[in-house]
Structure 1
Amino acid sequence: MTARERVRHALSHSEPDRVPIDLGGMGSTNIMAIAYNRLKVFLGIRGGTTRLYDWGQQLCEPESWAMERFHLDVVSLSRSLSPVSDPERTREFESRFGGKWKPWVLPDGSLCEAEESFNPEPDGNGGWQMRNERGVWAVMPKSALYFDGGPANHPLDYARSVADLGDWKPGYANEGSYKAAAEKAQWLHENTDFAIMAGFGGGALEPAQGLRGWGQFMEDLAGDPDLADEIIGRLTDANVHNVKLFMEMVGPYLDLVQMGDDLGTQAGPQMSPAMYHRFIHPAHKAVYQTAKKTAPNVAIFLHSCGGIRPLLPDLIDEGVEALNPVQTNAVGMEPAGLKRDFGEKLTFWGGGAEVAGVLTYGTPDEVRAQVRERIRIFAPGGGFVFCQVHNIQANVPPENIVATYEAAYEFGRYPVS
């Protein structure tokens, strides 16, 4: 069974030969570059390329050796390194889709490559900052390991009414916007057996919070629903237009399209289910169902952090088929209950090992035990793709990373006992 077939079986809630495994299929199932470099040292892997494809989260792309060693089944359309080790295909892929990169030094002093366009400036205190026309919009203080939003990160923070928005609207794509993505997706589809996931976004809450500021947009929802509706409406109009074009051009070569909107906190949803249903649910439904109608064979994958169990019925109604990160240490996200109550409708993409728990602070044997138990709960009947809960952080011991993925391969064979 190929990797692509394996993932499609899981998504259709049937049991493949083994549980599919993901590391690096999207920006929340990945590994920080510092942890990746330490993993390579631990395994005695010399050379190669640690490529920082997400500078904000400091994430890198798993190289072909990692795809093979850890039996990975999913690739991200955003990758620039060949996922296969075959020299001829590697040369072709990287000559066509490799992009331009430069040397960069990570916060721990180890080396990587960063995009040529990545040009942070020193902040004067030993850290880094990024500027745009409004000022500093991303910061990495001296002691930090990632970039966070800066003071100029909320371009609609000035608005006090719908009229203040003026003619502002989000970006609308054209065919040229997705031409390169379509060509890369076609190459990966025709030259590899991996399941292919493309990031789209399609959010309403998180983008609106980015435009207004987190606290301000929550106040808008509660106190100025007209302004909140207008911002969400304009975002949704653009998302519907863009996702239709994206799926027309790129969808024929994809297995999953990744939507994203962080709806939860550690203690539960950011808002009541009623408020979610009133403001956000219609926006999500319009985008996800447009995507599905345009490319019916592509699964709708949603990344949404936190304790979002009360929102799952609405997400299922919207057309969500795969849920990530399955934040099992958040309120209401107990694995057995999720599988029992929603396992026939959702594929759980994550929840395989706690990054904020045993993966970071446990022993390899404790990691193996948790992986085995999570597979026992989530895997029966399909509907499960293994990965850890969110990205592998810089301080995760390399021996625990190895234990995680070796255990997933060992214990994930069907029938699961």
Structure 2
Amino acid sequence: MTPRERVLAVLAHERPDRVPIFIGADLTTGILKHAYLNLKAYLGLAPKVERYLYDWPELGAPLIEDVVLEHLHSDVRGVHDRFPAATYHHNRTRPPGTPYWDDWGVGQTEIAPDFYYPSIHPLAQAHTLEEITNYPCWPDMDDPTRYAHIAQQAATLANENRYAIVAAPWLIAPLERACQLQGMETFLVHLIENLDFAQALLEKIKTLCLTHLGYFLKALGDHVDILILGDDLGAQNGPLISPRLYRRILKPIHAEIIAFVKANSPAKILFHSDGDVSAFLDDFVEIGVDILNPIQTSAGQMGNLNEIKRRYGKKLIFCGGIDTQGVLSAGTPEDVRQEVKRVIEILGEDGGYLLAAVHSITNEVPPHNILAMVKAALEYGHYPH
């Protein structure tokens, strides 16, 4: 099979020739800067970053070059939007060491060399509907510089017809956006104590996301196989918010966004949600999620892969599952090899699995463990015919 045929077979809940490798489509399936530089050096390539995802150096995530993706046997290629031209101009001309400001007005402070974190929350004090209406920094989703390159990039990949095309618009995630605008603790308190305000803020974010997706999907046309959405709903040992509150407030928003995508695109929906999201899996199935990522096996009940596969193997495709926190970061190549073998044997039974690390491959992961993951996927991922 070609890489795209391999992925499409999994999307159809059929067995491919081998488990597809899903690396480099976006931030959540990428490699952070220092791990990437170490990997390139290990492969005998010049240890430098040619470009960054979303042309955003402060994100710390390189746009992985094709030569590296070939070494990693990745079966996917990503298509990404951009920030408005004015956002790039502002940040490229700002004084060194000062915060980076994104197009939502969120400030990201350099908390260590080359490491930025969204720590300036412009709506931290807001608590009224008027403050949402009057916020001066809502992003302009009509700005054509966000989408001008997408049609050509997607068409080129489609004409090549070799790799599965994964569309990754940046952070179509209402809860995460709200937490960035207000700070996580502040917004989660509003969800309990000031529900009208919290709902209004989520609705505003949803409306902007839908406008963004309208342009993005129009530019893609039919040249897309998977589209990445998400919201981080899990903590290390359970849900970040109660399932009851999720079903009342966030689930209808996620359902509307997914329905919009499916009405305007042939793409399958990959929903990214870190942590223990086991309490939400039935909800995800109900609202139309096709692919669940990243299957954080180190988080609560998500480590029970046999039960997850038993209950949802006919309903969801699984993407991820290779532990970054422990095995890839601190294990030996043999540890990595055995973990890949274990996860494939469970999640890959009869198909339905895309192999990936749990979220980005972090800076602590040595290059020999990245390559051990890929080598083990090639060794153990083949299906009998």
TM-score (norm 1): 0.83
CA shift, 1:314, in A, is 1.1
Inter-partner Cα distance in structure 2 for 1:372 and 1:323: 20
CA shift, 1:61, in A, is 2.4
- Give 2:211's aligned residue: 241
CA shift, 1:47, in A, is 6.8
Pick aligned residue for 2:379 from 407, 410, 414: 410
Pick aligned residue for 2:186 from 208, 213, 216: 216
Inter-partner Cα distance in structure 2 for 1:381 and 1:21: 16
The equivalences for 1:4-403 within 5 A come to 4-46=4-46, 49-53=49-53, 54-78=56-80, 118=92, 121-123=95-97, 129-130=99-100, 137-142=107-112, 146-150=115-119, 153-168=120-135, 171-173=140-142, 177-200=146-169, 201-295=171-265, 297-334=266-303, 335-351=305-321, 353-403=322-372
CA shift, 1:146, in A, is 2.1
Larger helix percent: 2
Change (3 A) 1:275 1:414: same
CA shift, 1:42, in A, is 2.1
Inter-partner Cα distance in structure 2 for 1:156 and 1:232: 13
Residues paired across the two proteins, number: 375
Change (3 A) 1:136 1:204: closer
Inter-partner Cα distance in structure 2 for 1:396 and 1:350: 16
Inter-partner Cα distance in structure 2 for 1:330 and 1:133: 32
CA shift, 1:274, in A, is 0.3
What SS does the aligned partner of 1:368 have?
A: helix
Tell me if the contact between 2:111 and 2:117 (Cα under 8 Å) persists in the aligned partners: no
Change (3 A) 1:401 1:79: farther
Map Cα deviations across residues 120-151 of structure 1 (whole Å, 9 max, x no partner). Answer: 6444xxxx643589999212234x5621123x
Change (3 A) 1:224 1:397: same
Map Cα deviations across residues 363-393 of structure 1 (whole Å, 9 max, x no partner). Answer: 1111101111111011112211001111111
Tell me if the contact between 1:257 and 1:299 (Cα under 8 Å) persists in the aligned partners: yes
Inter-partner Cα distance in structure 1 for 2:122 and 2:342: 45
CA shift, 1:242, in A, is 3.1
Equivalent position amino acid for 1:237 in 2: T
Inter-partner Cα distance in structure 2 for 1:192 and 1:119: 39
Tell me if the contact between 2:106 and 2:121 (Cα under 8 Å) persists in the aligned partners: no
Tell me if the contact between 1:339 and 1:378 (Cα under 8 Å) persists in the aligned partners: yes
Change (3 A) 1:71 1:134: closer
Structure 2 unaligned segments of length 5 or more: list them.
none
Change (3 A) 1:187 1:258: same
Inter-partner Cα distance in structure 2 for 1:205 and 1:135: 16
Tell me if the contact between 1:161 and 1:227 (Cα under 8 Å) persists in the aligned partners: yes
- Give 1:90's aligned residue: none
Inter-partner Cα distance in structure 2 for 1:236 and 1:293: 16
Tell me if the contact between 2:106 and 2:181 (Cα under 8 Å) persists in the aligned partners: no
Inter-partner Cα distance in structure 1 for 2:196 and 2:23: 41
Tell me if the contact between 2:105 and 2:122 (Cα under 8 Å) persists in the aligned partners: no
Map Cα deviations across residues 37-56 of structure 1 (whole Å, 9 max, x no partner). Answer: 21222232347754333534
CA shift, 1:115, in A, is 10
TM-score (norm 2): 0.89
CA shift, 1:217, in A, is 1.0
**Root-mean-square deviation (CA), in Å?**
2.7
Inter-partner Cα distance in structure 1 for 2:315 and 2:287: 12
Equivalent position amino acid for 1:41 in 2: A
Percent of matched pairs sharing the same residue: 33
CA shift, 1:167, in A, is 4.4
Inter-partner Cα distance in structure 1 for 2:274 and 2:292: 10
Tell me if the contact between 1:265 and 1:305 (Cα under 8 Å) persists in the aligned partners: yes
Inter-partner Cα distance in structure 1 for 2:47 and 2:182: 44
Inter-partner Cα distance in structure 2 for 1:48 and 1:30: 16
What SS does the aligned partner of 2:150 have?
A: helix
